[in-house]
Structure 1
Amino acid sequence: MRALRRLGGLRTRLVVAFVLVALVSAVTATALAYRESRTAVLERKQDAVLTDVRNRVEQAAADFDVPADEVSLTRFAAGIADGLGDDAVVVTQYRSLKASSDASADRTRITPSLREAVRTRNRMSFQRVDWHGSPYLVVGTPVTFDSTTLSGLDVFAITSLRAERDDTAGVLDAVRDGIVPVVLLAAVLALLAAGTVLRPVRELGRATRRHAAGDLTSRVRVRGRDELADLARDFNKTAGALESSVAELREQDLRAKRFVADVSHELRTPLAAMTMVATVLDEDAETLPPDAAHAARTVSEETARLTRLVDDLMEMSRFDSGAARLNLTGTDLAEAVRATLSLRALTDRVQAELPQGIRALVDRRRVDVIVANLVGNALRHGAEPVTVTLATDPAGDWLTVEVADRGPGLPPETLTHVFDRFYKADTARTRSEGSGLGTAIALENARLHGGAIDAANRPDGGAVFTLRLPWRRVREEEDR
């Protein structure tokens, strides 16, 4: 996967872009060079042939008499061809008579359109034609006497352009052979440029990943005065501001947690005394007048509620400070769950499915707190029957304790906040019997074991909370 990401990375795209630009430039330059060189070579050859044909025709015409016969036409054509080169063929036409300097030459290279142009325009004309894969230049001109009088004699000269074609093809081959080195050089330059450009980007990426991992002190070096340097400076400024903000928030959070822990600790001593007095008043309430008895019972209930709240706050402060520790012991989970229900007189209100023989290393006190909170929450906010089901996953790696009720279920907005501290789904009941910390404490205890708690709604109605714990087997631990 890392190799695939590198293939599709910015470095690859830069190199491909450089190579494509170099390739397009080289191909364009080759095409332009070939076109210009071909045009120049052909025009030079064309001008030379036109001049030679004109001169040879003028020289030969001075000694030529009309009317002509086939013999004189042949001699006339041969005289002109002698001065045009070994591969030149001259064809003469006088009225219906035709002759050639080479009797075996194919006269079809002289096209009807060229014959028509010479006949109608009465001046020299030419065409470039391909014959059997070879290029030829065909020049046609009428023969005149004293520069004005037409003789009725037409001369056509056929000259091969094969040498010129080979010359331009050599130029094309030379330029084309140079494309490969140019592309390779472009690739090397692209790699060097990409390394120079991407080095600050890579450093910025590493710094960003260190920030994501929690190292807010990470910074990048600022090089130069270009856009990448501006980006590095902006990153460093943002990182500094973020570090300051996070440090301030952490300090505020630490002070808040310390304040809660200190207040909870300071409340324990007066609460202990208040609890003793409230217990005495509650026991003697029957001997008191009705108003005093009601007040005594109210004080006792509120004192007990305040005590539970302080205990929960103390527990949360231990989780926040990292002081919470597991006391793992070999435990029969079915027995532990039954003990939790029995201790709180919930056995008759809860349907339990607890298979025997499931033993694990857990902190029994914390499992008791988790189950008690989940069952109590189901009874308070759901509807009976409430079921508690102990099970294991098929692989035998996890234990699950599922607590379900048949109430209306949890609203969608509650599902995302049900484990938040002091969260209560019914905001109108600000003074409910719960502290709003029960599910948060249960989740922290599960996490301390390396597990989790999931909240969901049953398809047929009701909420279900599932405690998942890693199965630390007692036998394996004892063997170690």
Structure 2
Amino acid sequence: MAPRPSLGLRPRLLSAFALLSVVTAAAVAGAIYVAARNDILQRAQDAAVLATKSQLEGLFPLRSAEPGPDELRGIANKMTEGNVRAMAIYRGAYSTGDPAPADPPGGSAGLRRQGGNTPVVDPEMLPLSLRREVAGGNVAWQRVVVWPGAPYLLIGAPLLIAEPDGTARMSGIEVYVLHSLQPEQRSIGRLATFAWLTGGAGLAFAVVLALLATRGVLRPVRELGRAARLLGEGELRTRIAVTGSDELADVARTFNNTAAELERHVEQLRQMEADARRFVADVSHELRTPLAALAAVADVLDEEAAHLPEPAGRAARLVSQETLNLTGLVNDLIEISRFDSGVAALALNEVDVAELVRATLRSRGWSESVETELPAGVTARLDPRRVDVILANLVGNALRHGEPPVSVRLAADPYWVTLEVRDHGPGLDEAVLPRVFDRFYKASAARARSEGSGLGLAIALENARLHRGDLTVSNVPDGGARFTLRLPRDLDGGPQ
């Protein structure tokens, strides 16, 4: 199962900052709203209770011990003004200050309407807790809702009767006053709207700040990523400008130090490699003259070996063979040094590729040992000497290390020439395939012991690349190894 793609660092930072801003803004706005709402309602409640108490003091003391309907109506009328409605109750009798009460459509929680939308108190539907408080001689109040969106404050208080001795006692009359809280409700609604708008504006501002902040924070990270990519591509002189003294600056300094050390070590390795190649080239060139003399002596020894008694004859033949091997190694080293120094060049000629293959096989006596499939008429601009070196190495390896039959197959298209050299042996071990073209590498576990230098395939690959071609190797499913050489038919035309 493929891993789910994750968001980048910047979206994650923005999301976290936005979530934190939303939670913070909602919490602050909610706390301010609740505090302001409670303060508005508390002030309205305190003002209504204070006004009710003041009006009740205007009715004290009563002179009638047994108030009738007219007295109750008078009390209710005195307490009723504007949007305030009142009701007086005495032993089951009550008056609302309006002789024509009307039930509200559907009724509502202990209240009913009178005169259109003006609510009045229904004594049978007053909250029992409020009735008990008032009956106990206390001034009590409770918030009620007449209909959805219409809050009111219901205040209840007892009236007292004056005694001849100047004291007062409970008269049994209860007064209930209904104060509208709709103006306060509208203020609270406006406050909520303002809180939401302010919170939204603050959130938008916070997101903008987050964008700017993340851009500034991630700029060094992006610069570090760019520098790391350049360093990976080989630009070892890449450095990061260090500003400030925070953690990102420490990372930048560490990167610069690491890049500097890497550049120094790579330069040292390059210098050591160049010195080693120069040494090999110098030694190889110096050995050519004495080896030429040794080769001449070896030829003489080889001719005389048949006439020498053993073991002198065997020693002469051994010296001759090892001299030839050493000469081949030196020549290979000189050829490799030309590739390394960049002085190797092509001598291009228009050649018949099939005839070039036949000439390579014929000059080495391999014509009878190698099967060929060489269509006629395939021409290309190649360096015959270098292609001969490639083919000689591939076919020679197949004959020495593989098993017959060994075959060479030629194919071509308008732009490329392809030569395949195949044997029918055990093939190459899979662990060997990636290293076949390495210098001085011998797959001794998969092949018989080689007398070669281990440079032949490396030189063949370099010659193929010098032609802007390629040389690859693979195992054939039914057995054997297959080397495939692809060369352009014309270096000056066609696809590169």
TM-score, length basis structure 2: 0.82
In the other structure, the counterpart of 1:312 is 332
In the other structure, the counterpart of 2:129 is 117
Matches of 1:469 and 1:374, distance apart in 2: 15
Task: Write the letter of the residue equivalent to 1:451.
Answer: G
Alpha-carbon distance, 1:299 to partner: 1.7
In the other structure, the counterpart of 1:236 is 256
In the other structure, the counterpart of 1:77 is 76
Which residues of 2 match residues 11-30 of structure 1 at below 5 A? 11=10, 13-15=12-14, 17-30=16-29
Q: What's the CA shift string for 1:315-373, capped at 9, x where partnerless?
A: 11111111122333333333323332232222333332333333333333222222222
Change (3 A) 1:133 1:275: same
Alpha-carbon distance, 1:462 to partner: 2.4
CA contact (8 A) 1:138 1:156 kept: no
Alpha-carbon distance, 1:196 to partner: 3.8
Alpha-carbon distance, 1:430 to partner: 10
Q: What's the CA shift string for 1:92-122, capped at 9, x where partnerless?
A: 4445444434524746342789621123444
- Higher deviation after alignment, 263-272 or 174-183: 174-183
Change (3 A) 1:431 1:412: closer
- Higher deviation after alignment, 159-168 or 429-438: 429-438
Change (3 A) 1:74 1:213: same
Matches of 1:64 and 1:306, distance apart in 2: 145
In the other structure, the counterpart of 1:32 is 31
Computed over aligned residues only, the root mean square deviation of the Cα atoms, in angstroms, reads 3.3
- Higher deviation after alignment, 271-280 or 100-109: 100-109
CA contact (8 A) 1:136 1:158 kept: no
Matches of 2:439 and 2:187, distance apart in 1: 88
In the other structure, the counterpart of 2:108 is 108
Matches of 2:217 and 2:80, distance apart in 1: 67
Matches of 2:77 and 2:25, distance apart in 1: 48
Please tell me whether residue 455 in structure 1 is matched to residue 473 in structure 2: yes
In the other structure, the counterpart of 1:403 is 421
Q: What SS does the corresponding residue of 2:213 show, helix, strand or coil?
A: helix
Give the total of aligned pairs: 466
Please tell me whether residue 417 in structure 1 is matched to residue 432 in structure 2: no
Change (3 A) 1:108 1:221: closer
Task: Write the letter of the residue equivalent to 1:117.
Answer: S
Q: Which has the larger radius of gyration?
A: 2
Q: 2:393 aligns with which of 373, 376, 397?
A: 373
Matches of 1:64 and 1:336, distance apart in 2: 143
Matches of 1:368 and 1:129, distance apart in 2: 108
Alpha-carbon distance, 1:61 to partner: 6.3
Q: 1:331 aligns with which of 351, 356, 359?
A: 351
CA contact (8 A) 1:128 1:135 kept: no
CA contact (8 A) 1:331 1:359 kept: yes
Q: What SS does the corresponding residue of 2:368 show, helix, strand or coil?
A: helix
Q: What SS does the corresponding residue of 1:390 show, helix, strand or coil?
A: strand
Alpha-carbon distance, 1:295 to partner: 1.8
Alpha-carbon distance, 1:265 to partner: 1.0
Change (3 A) 1:408 1:141: same
CA contact (8 A) 2:438 2:458 kept: yes
Change (3 A) 1:52 1:400: farther
Alpha-carbon distance, 1:71 to partner: 4.6
In the other structure, the counterpart of 2:40 is 41
Matches of 1:337 and 1:57, distance apart in 2: 128
CA contact (8 A) 1:89 1:105 kept: no
| Structure with greater proportional helix content | 1
Alpha-carbon distance, 1:258 to partner: 0.8
Please tell me whether residue 161 in structure 1 is matched to residue 160 in structure 2: no
Alpha-carbon distance, 1:78 to partner: 2.6
Task: Write the letter of the residue equivalent to 1:128.
Answer: R
Q: What SS does the corresponding residue of 1:218 show, helix, strand or coil?
A: coil
Q: 1:384 aligns with which of 388, 404, 407?
A: 404
Alpha-carbon distance, 1:211 to partner: 2.7
In the other structure, the counterpart of 2:266 is 246
In the other structure, the counterpart of 2:152 is 137
Task: Write the letter of the residue equivalent to 1:415.
Answer: L
- Higher deviation after alignment, 259-268 or 127-136: 127-136
- Higher deviation after alignment, 96-105 or 288-297: 96-105
Alpha-carbon distance, 1:374 to partner: 2.1
> What stretches of structure 2 of length at least 5 have no aligned partner?
112-123, 162-166
Change (3 A) 1:43 1:405: farther
CA contact (8 A) 1:388 1:403 kept: yes
CA contact (8 A) 2:352 2:380 kept: yes
Change (3 A) 1:158 1:383: farther
TM-score, length basis structure 1: 0.85
Which residues of 2 match residues 459-474 of structure 1 at below 5 A? 459-472=477-490
Alpha-carbon distance, 1:62 to partner: 3.7
Q: 1:434 aligns with which of 433, 448, 452?
A: 452
In the other structure, the counterpart of 2:246 is 226
Alpha-carbon distance, 1:403 to partner: 2.5
Identity across matched positions, percent: 46
CA contact (8 A) 2:425 2:481 kept: yes
Alpha-carbon distance, 1:266 to partner: 1.2
Task: Write the letter of the residue equivalent to 2:467.
Answer: H
Please tell me whether residue 171 in structure 1 is matched to residue 170 in structure 2: no
Q: What's the CA shift string for 1:166-206, capped at 9, x where partnerless?
A: 21222233333334543444344344434443444444344
CA contact (8 A) 1:114 1:126 kept: no
Change (3 A) 1:430 1:353: closer
Q: What SS does the corresponding residue of 1:166 show, helix, strand or coil?
A: helix
Q: What SS does the corresponding residue of 1:416 show, helix, strand or coil?
A: helix
Q: What SS does the corresponding residue of 1:230 show, helix, strand or coil?
A: helix
Q: What SS does the corresponding residue of 1:361 show, helix, strand or coil?
A: strand
Task: Write the letter of the residue equivalent to 1:309.
Answer: L
Q: What's the CA shift string for 1:109-145, capped at 9, x where partnerless?
A: 4278962112344444444344443231242425253
- Higher deviation after alignment, 264-273 or 422-431: 422-431
Q: 1:363 aligns with which of 383, 386, 393?
A: 383
Task: Write the letter of the residue equivalent to 2:327.
Answer: T
Matches of 2:286 and 2:199, distance apart in 1: 85
Change (3 A) 1:424 1:132: same
Alpha-carbon distance, 1:87 to partner: 1.8
Task: Write the letter of the residue equivalent to 2:484.
Answer: T
CA contact (8 A) 2:372 2:409 kept: yes
CA contact (8 A) 1:126 1:137 kept: no
In the other structure, the counterpart of 2:116 is none
CA contact (8 A) 2:371 2:408 kept: yes
